[in-house]
Amino acid sequence: MKYKVIPLLLCPVLAYGKDITHISTYEDNYVLGTYTTDINQSAYSEMGSEMDSLQDFEVKFQISASIPFYRFSSGTALMGAYTQKSLWQLANSDISSPFRETNYKPQVFLAHQSNMLLFNHVEAGYKHESNGQSSKLSRSWDRLYVAAERFSGPVEYGVHAWWVITTENDDMENYYAPYELWAKVYTRAGVVNTRGFYNFADDKGGVELGYTFYFNDILGVYLQGYHGYGETLIDYDHSQTRVGLGIKLMNL
């Protein structure tokens, strides 16, 4: 078929979007060339870092996969997942083209899949996220979370809510909300996706909007935009607008 999304429109009871039986993709996997309107130079200049001439162009990529550890039943499993997001100053040879920021997010959780009222996939578990830096550049937090999501059909959506156990940065919760919402809409012209959060107490938020045109059953052209705080951990207290274009892997 010409578009990967056509079967989704014709058959709304396809398999769930997250696989609890095999190693598979978990969050989105992509690589983009991006431009940001306001790179977070101050985070490094305060440290007297050699990265004092950052470029607005960066390569942004994310890899993410999950694995079942133990299946309790056909619809319930103990799972593990790993997601890594990086910002790479690829064209900045003046400072040796460094990886400016990498976020590492391992997690373990219990997943259950069945036809519920509004959702067909729920998770409850623990996730750690850090950027592997030291001193004032270090960012990390540990969270317990629950997620309720709906996969299959032309519209998919979900909500993730969490409780912070520990954080290395005391004001992180002043910027991130304790939840994130996401949605995907499948059409014959492509897939539109969005995710975001808004901290009502402190009037801070962040939103991502994307569009994917799949040219085969595996890969697609991906356009992504992000506006607000918290795109990565180093930018949790920094607002910017980023646009990027690249390649996205179909969730497998």
CATH number of 6-249: 2.40.230.10
Q: Is 128 a catalytic residue?
A: yes
Of the residues 24, 128, 152, 239, only one is catalytic, namely 128
134 annotated to bind ligand: no
Domain range list for the chain: 6-249
Q: Are 57 and 243 in contact (CB under 8 A)?
A: no
Along the 252 residues of the chain, how does pLDDT read in single tens digits?
333 333 333 333 334 579 999 999 999 999 999 999 999 998 887 666 566 789 999 999 999 999 999 999 999 999 999 999 999 999 999 889 999 999 999 999 999 999 988 999 999 999 999 999 988 899 999 999 999 999 988 999 999 999 999 999 989 999 999 999 999 999 998 999 999 999 999 999 999 999 999 989 899 999 999 999 999 999 999 999 999 999 999 887
- C-alpha 66/C-alpha 87 separation (Å) is 22
The pTM for the full model equals: 0.90
- Residues pairing with 141 in the sheet: 129, 167
Catalytic: which of 49, 130, 152, 239? 130
Is 138 annotated in a binding site? The answer is yes
Q: Are 54 and 43 in contact (CB under 8 A)?
A: no
- Verify whether residue 130 is a known catalytic residue: yes
Q: Please give the full DSSP string across the chain, using - where no structure is assigned.
A: ---TTHHHHH-TT---SS-SSS-EE-S-EEEEEEEESS--THHHHTTT-S--S--SEEEEEEEEEEEEEEEEETTEEEEEEEEEEEEE-TT-GGGT--EEEEEEEEEEEEEEE---SS-SEEEEEEEEEE----GGG--EEEEEEEEEEE-SSSEEEEEEEEEEEEESSTTGGGTS-SEEEEEEEEETTEEEEEEEEEETTTTEEEEEEEEEEESSSSEEEEEEEEEES-SSGGGTT--EEEEEEEEEEPP-
